[in-house]
Amino acid sequence: KRITGENVSEQTERLRSKKFIDNLKQSDPLFLDHPNFIRGLTKNGKTVLSKKTIEKIYEKVPAHPKLIDRLQATKKALMSEWKNHLLK
């Protein structure tokens, strides 16, 4: 059992689920046909990272054959960006 398992929201559980990841791996055409699939990141009704910021980072990440790989690379870049922001 994960230590943080009790603090994980239902949404986070769903996003981490194997079923969601499997669906994401099969859904490249659905996302790529809709370039506005990126949304800003909010917490408690406040914008933490704007859509524009996330799009800039997504565009800087090298294109991968699979969307999930590009999303993972974007996630890592966002985490790095956030860490740098907190250190300022």
Residue 47: phi and psi, rounded to 5, are -75, 120
Query: Domain limits at 28?
Result: 3-87
> pLDDT tens per residue, the chain (88 residues)?
555 556 778 888 888 888 988 887 777 777 766 767 888 888 888 998 899 999 899 889 988 878 888 888 999 999 998 888 788 7
Give the total number of structural domains in the chain: 1
SS3 35: coil
In this prediction the pTM is: 0.60
Instruction: Specify the residue for token string 């949304």.
Output: 39
DSSP H or E segment with residue 42: strand 41-43
Residues 42-61 as b or e (16 or more Cβ within 10 Å = b):
eeeeeeebeeebbbebbeeb
